[in-house]
Amino acid sequence: MKAPARATRRIPSQTKKRIRAHSTFIYRAHKEVNPAGMRSLDLMASRLSFPKPVLLRLVSLEASRLSKTNRLKVVTLQEINAAVTLVQRRIAMKAAVLIQRWYRRYIARLEMRRRYTWNIFQSIEYAGEQDQLQLSSFFSFMLNNFTQLNGNGPESYTGPRLTFPLSVSDTNALLSAFKEQQSLHARYVLQLLYETKKLLKQMPNIIHLSTSYTKDITICGDLHGRLDDLLLIFYKNGLPSAETPYVFNGDFVDRGKKSIEVVMLLFAYLLLYPDNMHLNRGNHEDHIMNLRYGFTKEVMQKYKTHGREILQLFQDVFSLLPVATVIDGKVLIVHGGISDQTDLDFLSTIERHKVKSALRFPRRTLEQLDIGQSSRQMKRMISTDGSRPSSSRSHSKNQRTPNQRKRRCRISRQDSAVSISPSSSSSSSSSSSLCSPRTPSCLTPRPCPSSPSMTYTINVLHVPFLDSLTSVPPPSSPQHDQEWKQIVDILWSDPKTQEGCSPNTFRGGGCYFGPDITQRLLLQHGLQLLIRSHECKQEGYELCHGGQVITIFSASNYYEEGSNRGAYIKLGRDLVPRFYQYQVSRTTRKLTLTQRVRAAEGSALRALKEKLFTHRSELMSGFQQYDQNNTGSVSVSEWAQVLESVLRLDLPWRTLRPHLARLAADGSVEYQSCFENMEPGIPLSQVTPNLAETLFRYRTDIEIIFNIIDKDHSGLISIEEFRQTWRLFSAHLGVDIDDRAIDDLARSIDFNKDGSIDFT
Amino acid sequence: MAESKPSAEAMVSDVHKKIKAAFEAFDYETNNTVDVREIGTIIYSLGCFPSQTDLHDFIAEVEEDHTGYIHLDKFLPAMAKILLEHKYPPIPEDILLQAFEVLDKEKKGYLEPEELANYMTQEGELFTQEEMDEMLTALADHEKDLIYYKDILSQLTIDPEL
């Protein structure tokens, strides 16, 4: 304590002695006079393990200081009391400071955990471990070859019935139906989509709005299939109407469980109020993204009979969505962002519907690789395949099993459009959700540690099912390249604080654009504000680039319950944005920060563990390289190294280690412990580990595919069908599984041994 | 954390790695800079207990000329020094208990929210209203709306390694 220390120095010992003697006398006397005061002193002494004499001295010093002003050369009772109170107060203050400091640290730790959790979610979200493209072609093949019965489904449909042109009663019917968890009959879905397609065809690429005829315009960001958030927005802000115009800035589908309902509502209102409802395309309005992120699965599950048709229509409708909205010629709204090459005038002239997906192969790429004629392609493919040293780049093994080495060349037609596998052996494929747009970095000759005969480092995918290459557009003209890039930039870019424009390596598409890029574009077109979405923000919105860029995100609890708020903007004639936040909550009690962080952390760690499990064989071989003596453990650094190189996720592995793996007594990591507690849910004791992993990794897609096969929607498929499909699937993936393994697998899944597999 | 080798060098490099990991969690641009406002969080999470003044002094030392950003190059050595010298040691749990007991004058075993709030927002290194609200939500027993400090002590002190 500062006061006594100082005082001790100054007071001469004589005085001290006198004071001490005096105050002890007073103390004793005081005990009778004011027991309470002295009791509290005793209490303090006992609690704080302050030796009583020390406390006493503090008190007496205080008292003496106080008594300096009184005439009597004696310390009075009052002063003693006052001193006691003062000392008490000081101690209390010290206690308070301690608590404050402690608490602040606790919160800081929580915040750190929250950050890590967020990082985990983001890394996993964008880690494209699947070869979307290849799956999409397989998928199309399946769709075309396993034709569904075109039944009408059960006649007893109690959901909403729509009549076109739509009226308010239709949209209200939809709202209440969806609130009651009903679904819309496929017939109406299709009709709605047809009508929407017709309407969108007439719209320009960039919609121009004005605030002079309307009240405030409400701008919402990503919804990602969160019906609750959409309903909450409508509740707080009002339904779309002439008085309440809306702009929805893309990403209506994927991830959330109610993408269909969300998008049906949005389209319905679009048809109802075409002048007051505006939808921008987002990067998830893309059928290949939908394969990975859940929309396709949702459609196939909810609409087994008509799923294919519906998905096809969605593909068209999505590509017809406008890409940008401009308000009063001053505020630009796009889903992702801009690049240094964004040219709004050019953008408004292109044929936007031609860009069906961000995933495609610019012609430039093929030329770079000197793939001209098909025959030469075929020859190259064969030679590459044979000589592909899949072990040379040890750290960049694809997220496929080692069996890939044995993948055979399937060339059924000479003029096959050779699609270039995005999941090339280049190391960055796993951290992007699409890879081929990154052509410069993916395919320029990287220093390949393998033999010099390898002129390119990519794997060439063979697509046997050529009739159905609906999802893979052929390489096209340079003009088309330009157009494609404009749109991809608009849908995929992210702002950053540094100046300049660089390729967005995190996502694999679009750019990172700096404040100078924003400034330039805004000036160039006479704009003053850029509103975009695309990134989840904790508060639902965020400003950057000196307030010139606003990110608005409308899916609350995106990663996990309590992870973030959602928000929307209202813009009036003054063009000053006003932000409204909300959070959908399932619990009635407000979760504390601790609970929220814990929940989110739990989720993130589970997802991370799953990832570890799906890469088990690669990880194990990585670990074993460091553990030649088979001790079962490696050092923490080595452990982190292996994880980093196999999973390609930029995460603080050392810090996460306690949640993922056990330490041995000597401080090394027992790497086998990474894979404990992971049950894929399918008892696969009989099958090889690789198969289990593959199944687990692709389980979403497998579900979709099974849904297609299941002709009578019984939830069962026959073993034969399973076998066939699995064979195709594994061939497509290049996973070599022998028939017996498949049979075993089939049998093991067939629990009730009745010859059919219940895949639910 | 695993200290598999007892050598000083290994310890230093371990410390460096820890600091880097904490730093990177807030390095949004992946350009080795963090916003100066996050420094407190980073330092706390590394196990140190600086006071607000200590923090201010530290920031003054490492900030890049009032840009509002701190670069890893300056942060790493300064932070490593702090960690290796144990400059801002943690508060032992029993002292914390005593601190609570001091505030709980009547020795009830709990504190009322207003009591605690009064202290936190008016004494010492003052809390903002936001911090106070968060603290009350986090620490108070929900049914009785009282803060049983003995119970929450473990929550505040037991930290998973993260």
Both B39 and B70 in one domain: the answer is yes
pLDDT at B60: 84
Residue B74 lies in a domain: yes
Residue A590 touches partner B, C-beta closer than 8 Å: yes
User: What residue has token string 């109802």?
Assistant: A272
Does some domain include residue B3? Answer: no
Tokens at B36, concatenated: 């100066």
User: In this complex, do A652 and B101 lie within 8 Å of one another by their Cβ atoms?
Assistant: no
Given pLDDT bands bounded at 50, 70 and 90, which one contains residue A513?
very high
B115 and B149 housed in the same domain: yes
Confidence of residue A531 (pLDDT cuts 50, 70, 90): very high
Which positions ≥6 away from A14 have C-beta within 8 Å? none
Q: Which of B84, B107, B134 is the last residue of a domain?
A: B84
Pairing of strands A669-670, A633-634: antiparallel
How far apart are alpha carbons B21 and A491 in whole angstroms? 31
Percent of chain A with pLDDT over 70: 57
In whole angstroms, how far apart are CA A708 and each of A259, A296, A302, A616, A759?
20, 11, 12, 30, 12
DSSP symbols for A652-684:
-HHHHHHHH-EE-TTS-EEGGGGGTT---SS--
Q: Do the beta carbons of residue A631 and residue A623 sit within 8 Å?
A: no
> How does the average pLDDT of chain A come out, rounded?
70
Specify if B44 maps to a domain: yes
Distance CA B46, CA B83 (A): 8
Q: How confident is the model at residue A647 (pLDDT cuts 50, 70, 90)?
A: confident
Which among A488, A196, A199 has a CA at the least distance from the CA of A354? A488
Shortest distance, CA B149 to any CA of chain A (angstroms): 11
Mean pLDDT throughout A453-457?
26
Tokens of A627: 């553990």
The residues, any chain, with a CB within 8 Å of residue A17's CB and separated by 6 or more, are none
**Which DSSP helix (H) or strand (E) runs through A580?**
strand A577-582
User: What mean pLDDT is predicted for residues A707-733?
Assistant: 64
Q: Do the chains contact at B119 and A590, CB–CB below 8 Å?
A: no
Q: Residue B67's domain is classified under what CATH number?
A: 1.10.238.10
Confidence of residue A68 (pLDDT cuts 50, 70, 90): low
Give the B window 56-115 contacts with A, CB below 8 Å: 91, 95-96, 98-103, 105, 107
Q: Return the minimum-mean-pLDDT range out of A25-39, A66-80, A330-344.
A: A25-39
A236-268 pLDDT, tens digit each: 999 998 889 999 999 999 988 899 999 999 999
Active-site annotation of A, residues: 284
The number of C-beta contacts closer than 8 angstroms across A and B is 143
B40 contacts A104? CB cut-off 8 A: yes
Q: Amino acid letter at B58?
A: F
Region A271-299: mean pLDDT is: 89
Q: CB distance from A664 to chain B under 8 Å?
A: no
Q: How many helices (H) and strands (E) does chain B have?
A: 8, 2
pLDDT range class, residue A96, cuts 50, 70, 90: confident
pLDDT tens per residue across all 162 residues of chain B = 444 445 777 778 878 888 888 888 777 767 788 888 788 888 887 878 787 788 888 888 887 777 778 888 888 888 888 888 887 777 777 777 877 877 777 777 788 888 888 878 877 777 888 778 877 877 777 677 787 877 777 766 655 443
Query: Is pLDDT of A370 > 50?
Result: no
Residues B67 and B117 placed together within one structural domain of the fold: no
Q: Tell me, what's the pLDDT at B14? A: 79
Q: For residue A24, what pLDDT band results from cuts at 50, 70 and 90?
A: low
Euclidean distance between CA atoms A684 and B48, whole angstroms: 48
Query: Nearest-CA distance from A49 to chain B in Å?
Result: 9
**B130 vs A contacts (CB less than 8 Å):** none
Beta bridge partners of B147: B111
Matching residue, tokens 């000392």 = A87
pLDDT of residue A713: 57
Residue A669 CB neighbour total at 10 angstroms: 26
The Cβ-side half-sphere exposure at A119, using a 13 Å CA radius, reads 22
Other beta carbons within 10 angstroms of residue B77's beta carbon come to: 13
pLDDT at A138: 62
pTM for the whole structure: 0.63
């509502």: which residue's tokens? A265
Chain B partners of A664 at a C-beta cutoff of 8 Å? Answer: none
pLDDT of residue B159: 55
Backbone angles phi, psi at A50, to 5 degrees: -80, 125
Which residue, A121, A149, A158, A24, is CA-closest to A80? A24
Are residues B105 and A40, on separate chains, in Cβ contact within 8 Å? yes
- pLDDT at position A498 is 84
Inter-residue contact B158 to A109 (CB < 8 Å): no
Interface of B with A in 9-38 (CB under 8 A): 17-18, 21-22, 24-26, 28-29, 31
Give the mean pLDDT of A140-149.
Answer: 54
Determine which helix (DSSP H) or strand (DSSP E) holds A643, and give its type and residue range: helix A636-647
Residue B25 per-residue DSSP state: T
B90/chain A closest Cα distance in angstroms: 8
Tell me the one-letter amino acid at A25: F
Is the pLDDT score of A434 beyond 50? no
Query: Nearest CA to A360 among A253, A434, A457, A416?
Result: A434
Give the one of B22, B31, B49 whose C-beta lies nearest to A101's C-beta.
Answer: B49
Q: What does each C-alpha distance from A538 to A530, A554, A567 come to in angstroms?
A: 20, 11, 10
A93 contact residues in B (CB cutoff 8 A): 123-124
pLDDT at A409 over 70: no
Measured in angstroms, the CA of A593 and the nearest CA of chain B are apart by: 7
What is the pLDDT at residue A18?
Answer: 61
- If asked whether residues B72 and B19 sit together in one domain, one would say yes
The matching CATH number, chosen from 1.10.238.10, 1.20.58.100, 1.10.357.10, 3.40.50.300, for A697-757 is 1.10.238.10
My answer on whether B104 and B72 are in the same domain is no
The three-class DSSP label of residue A552 is: strand
Q: What is the pLDDT of residue A397?
A: 33
Among A367-371, A436-440, A509-513, A710-714, the minimum mean pLDDT is found in: A436-440
Domain end among B84, B118, B140: B84
- Return the sign of the alpha-carbon dihedral for residues A531, A534, A535, A538: positive
Phi, psi of A170 (to 5 degrees): -65, -50
pLDDT (0 to 100) of residue A22? 61
Residue-level pLDDT at A734: 60
Predicted confidence at residue A401, as pLDDT, reads 35
Question: Are the C-beta atoms of A554 and A223 separated by less than 8 Å?
Answer: yes
Q: Are residues B15 and B65 in the same domain?
A: yes
Q: Domain boundary residue among B39, B65, B84?
A: B84
A280 against A510, higher pLDDT: A280
Parent domain of B110: 93-156
Say if residues A760 and A741 touch (Cβ distance below 8 Å): no
Mutate to test the interface with B, among A2, A49, A99 (most CBs of B within 10 A): A99
Give the C-alpha distances (Å, rounded to integers) separating A142 from A187, A227, A303: 22, 30, 16
Q: What is the rounded (10 degree) CA torsion for A23, A27, A28, A34?
A: 150
- The set of residues, in sequence order, having a beta carbon less than 8 Å from that of A668 and lying 6+ positions away, is A633, A634, A635, A636, B2, B4
Nearest residue in A to B2, CA atom = A667
Pair (B77, B98) in one structural domain = no
Answer yes or no: is B2 within a domain.
no
Residue A371, pLDDT above cutoff 50: no
**Three-state SS letters, A446-513:** CCCCCCCCCCCCCCEECCCCHHHCCCCCCCCCHHHHHHHHHHHHHHHCEECCCCCEEECCCCCCCEEE
> Lowest-confidence range among A211-220, A313-322, B85-94?
B85-94
Residue appearing with tokens 């009791």: A39
Per-residue model confidence as pLDDT tens digits over A121-141: 777 766 554 445 555 556 666
Residues 6 or more apart whose Cβ sits within 8 Å of residue A676 = none
Report pLDDT for B101: 79
Total number of domains constituting chain B: 2
The b/e string for A127-154 (b: 16+ C-beta within 10 A; e otherwise) is bbbbbbbbbbbbbbbbbeebebeeeeee
pLDDT recorded at residue A142:
62
Residue B108 to residue B51: CA distance in whole angstroms: 29
Return residues 483-512 of A near B (CB < 8 Å): 496-498
Assess if residue B1 is contained within a domain. no
Cα(B144)–Cα(B162) distance, rounded to whole angstroms? 31
Cβ partners under 8 Å of residue A656, min gap 6: A116, A120, A605, A608, B162
CATH superfamily assigned to domain A183-359+486-582: Metallo-dependent phosphatases (3.60.21.10)
Beta-bridged to residue A634, according to DSSP, are A669
* DSSP per residue, A73-93: SS--HHHHHHHHHHHHHHHHH
Map tokens 């300056």 to a residue. Answer: B74
Cross-strand partners of A333:
A325, A531
Q: Which residue has the higher pLDDT, A271 or A468?
A: A271
Percentage of the residues of chain A whose pLDDT score is greater than 90: 21
Residue tagged 């959790």 (tokens): A117
Given CA atoms B75, B77, B78, B82 in this order, what sign does their dihedral have?
A: positive
Residue that is written with structure tokens 């990880």 in the block = A619
Residue B114 falls inside a structural domain: yes
Q: Is residue B161 situated within a structural domain?
A: no
Q: Closest Cα to residue B72, out of B25, B23, B35? A: B23
CB A483, CB A354: distance < 8 Å? yes
Whether residue B74 is found in the same domain as residue B108: no
Domain A593-682 grouped into CATH 3.10.20.740: no
Q: B161 vs A112: CB contact, 8 Å cut-off?
A: no
Could you tell me the CA-to-CA distances from A592 to A587, A604, B100, B145 in Å, in that order?
12, 18, 21, 14
Residues B40 and B79 in one domain: yes
Q: Which of B41, B101, B125 sits opposite A101 (nearest CB)?
A: B125
* Residues paired with A461 in a beta bridge: A419
Strands A331-334 and A324-327: antiparallel
* Cβ within 8 Å, pair B124-A659: no
Dump strand ranges (E) for A253-353.
Answer: 277-279, 324-327, 331-334
Residue A390 has pLDDT above 50, yes or no: no
How many DSSP H helices and E strands does chain A contain?
A: 27, 21
* Residue B111 covered by a domain: yes
Alpha-carbon gap, residue A181 to A160, rounded angstroms: 12
Q: Mind telling me how many Å the CA of A398 is from chain B's nearest CA?
A: 25
Residue A130, pLDDT score: 41
